[in-house]
Amino acid sequence: MNNYYVSAGRGSDSTGTGTASNPWKTIAKAIGASPAASLGSDGARVYLEPGTYYESVTLGLTPTATARLEVVGDCDGAGFLAGGLATPATGVVDWSSWVNDTTARGMPCLAGGNKSYVSLRRLKLIGGAIDKSCVDVGAGHDWTISDCIVVPHSSQPAIVFGSAAAPAAAGLNAVVERCDFHVGGNSSGRPIMFNVAGAAAEYSLDSVVRNCRFRGGVLIVARVANTGLGYAATGLQISHCSFLGGHSAPISVYGSDPVVLASPITVFGCYLSGNNGIVAGHVSQVTEDYNAFHVASAARLNVTAGSHSIGSVRPAFDYGDGRLVGTPLRPWGEPVANSLLGGFVVGGASPTTDFAGRARPEGYLSTRAAVGALERHDTGEINTPYADSGSPACLALRGPSSLERPILMDATATVIRVKVRWDGNHGDANKPQAILLANPEIGVSADQVVTASSSGGTGSTPNEYETLSFSSVTPTRPGALMLRLVSRSSDGTGVAYFDSITLS
């Protein structure tokens, strides 16, 4: 895959060559109407250096199944580091369809021009003053939008698949995951729209929206092409999303359109807050289960209640609670400890990771996943009975859970070690792990994962401590690496104990 580099701060469209050391200045130069980037035989990846890009771009490349286009916000500097830049910048990549901070453009951040096979990752998209404010896919297919913050202009639709002139077709294969949507709170706000056609036979979009957070707006599936044919699209799964603070119904499937679906669209493991919850035009259009609702009116309109869903639940989330007591802030919308929302969802439809990219389930002494986009992480507790020799206390992680802590590093070769033991309830099917996360800003470009190899204890009694050792790392400058300690208990009661972190 060809790698290209863009920097709003130090790049040049006239003298730049698209390398990490001599990048282009604009996204349009790389992929716009006259693109400098080439897809080659196996595609192109365009890294955007942290900064603000005041641009609206119409895609000029034509990706294919074997030559995809990836546009990546290089927030951690990993891409530029791999491209040979010794000290890459870190921060937010802000792609705004604005002329400046006071004037919005009348274009989306990216107009897809009906092109396909595109991935957008780790971008903050602030949309222009137009319908399809952030990303206009058009009739393209095979788009993946992940780990993005999406902010449309006012209440304009943010990400739009299809239009009345060119509806989303069978095999759309769209994936939207781990994205934050901040949409105007009135009923016209549309974070994601799937505009589909009337058809001679029911067809499948083969698409998924998962692990996303929505603040306001309505996710919509609508039949916009009036063909006079009696069928429409299905094949959309909406799973483990948190719809927080919607004005109307967070999900609307065909609105008042009574088209009958043989295979319904599915909503699974979501938290939905609004005047209503899920609205459909016909009872055949949606199946829902393991969802939790906090609504003013009806949880469902023309939707049969899932046998495991909760029609009314207290919104027991973290809303920046740590500021009240002076503790570190948790992610907004993470379920609080002991919440009914945690350890609730059963079934193979749950993703194995959550909005934060960390393991699901975690944090609720359960092998069941939490409702919505987030699990509860960093739930360790102090334990003294099973501390290492000479240590006053150790860390206990109960059930599937993990905890991260920073390790301060000098610019010298260092080996990090940590000890672990675990009881019989944890089991040996998936033994505890320690993960040293990359930090490209200080020259550490790859994660390291070390899995315990001995056998656990019996019942609630742990085995002897085992030492987990990472390969030596040499930061290019002083800084911090994050150490993640992981219990992978096979049930909700098993415990992994970690102690004696050493650096040598």
Which region holds residue 228: left if phi is over 0, alpha if psi is between -120 and 50, else beta?
A: left
In a domain, 125, yes or no: no
Give the ranges where 223-376 is alpha helix by DSSP (H).
322-325
The pLDDT, as a whole number, for residue 150 is: 98
Same-domain status, 404 and 332: no
Kindly write down the DSSP assignment for every residue of 347-391, as one continuous string. STTS-SB-TTS-BSS-SSSSSSBPSSS-------EEESTTPPTT-
Residue 92 contacts residue 66 (beta carbons within 8 Å): no
Kindly write down the DSSP assignment for every residue of 429-493, as one continuous string. TT--EEEE--BGGGTB-S-EEEE--S---BTTBB---EEEEPPPB--SSSEEEEEEEEE--SSSS
Beta-bridged to residue 312, according to DSSP, are none
Mean pLDDT over 224-242 rounds to 91
In a domain, 412, yes or no: yes
**What is the distance between the alpha carbons of residues 131 and 316, in angstroms, rounded to a whole number?**
34
Same-domain status, 170 and 307: yes
487: Cβ contacts below 8 Å, ≥ 6 apart: 397, 398, 399, 400, 401, 402, 422, 426, 432, 494, 495, 496
Mean pLDDT over 202-212 rounds to 98
In a domain, 132, yes or no: no
DSSP H or E run through 95: strand 93-96
Same-domain status, 346 and 413: no
The residue out of 377, 405, 421 marking a domain boundary is 377
**What is the distance between the alpha carbons of residues 497 and 489, in angstroms, rounded to a whole number?**
12
The pLDDT, as a whole number, for residue 155 is: 80
**What is the distance between the alpha carbons of residues 190 and 175, in angstroms, rounded to a whole number?**
17
The neighbour count for residue 148, using CB atoms within 10 Å, is 25
pLDDT at 342 over 90: yes
Same-domain status, 371 and 386: no
Residue 489 contacts residue 400 (beta carbons within 8 Å): yes
The pLDDT, as a whole number, for residue 247 is: 73
Each residue of 68-107: pLDDT tens digit? Answer: 999 999 999 999 999 999 999 999 999 999 999 999 999 9
Q: Residue 499's domain spans which residues?
A: 381-503
- What six digits make up the tokens of 100? 């400046």
Q: How confident is the model at residue 414 (pLDDT cuts 50, 70, 90)?
A: very high
CATH number at residue 494: 2.60.120.260
Same-domain status, 224 and 368: yes
In a domain, 206, yes or no: yes
Same-domain status, 326 and 231: yes
Count the domains in the chain: 2
Same-domain status, 407 and 436: yes
In a domain, 24, yes or no: no
Q: From the CA atom positions of the chain, what is the Rg in Å?
A: 24
Same-domain status, 200 and 319: yes
Task: Express as a percent the part of the chain with pLDDT over 90.
Answer: 93
Each residue of 97-143: pLDDT tens digit? Answer: 999 999 999 999 999 999 999 999 999 999 999 989 999 999 999 99
Q: How confident is the model at residue 331 (pLDDT cuts 50, 70, 90)?
A: very high
pLDDT at 185 over 70: no
Q: Among 237-251, 288-302, 358-372, which stretch is predicted with the lowest mean pLDDT? A: 237-251
Under DSSP, the state recorded for 331 is: P
For the four alpha carbons of 52, 444, 332 and 327, in that order, the dihedral sign comes to negative
Beta-bridged to residue 53, according to DSSP, are 95
Residue 49 contacts residue 20 (beta carbons within 8 Å): no
In a domain, 106, yes or no: no
Under DSSP, the state recorded for 323 is: H
Same-domain status, 153 and 224: yes
Each residue of 415-469: pLDDT tens digit? Answer: 999 999 999 999 999 999 999 999 999 999 999 999 999 999 999 999 999 999 9
In a domain, 46, yes or no: no
- What six digits make up the tokens of 376? 């509860």
Q: Between these two residues, 159 and 229, which has the higher pLDDT value?
A: 159
Same-domain status, 325 and 189: yes
Mean pLDDT of the chain: 96
The pLDDT, as a whole number, for residue 188 is: 65
Same-domain status, 263 and 362: yes
Backbone angles phi, psi at 309, to 5 degrees: -80, 160
Same-domain status, 209 and 315: yes
User: Hey, is 178 helix, strand or coil?
Assistant: coil
Residue 216 contacts residue 152 (beta carbons within 8 Å): no
**What is the distance between the alpha carbons of residues 12 and 28, in angstroms, rounded to a whole number?**
12
- What six digits make up the tokens of 33? 């109407």
- What six digits make up the tokens of 55? 């641009």
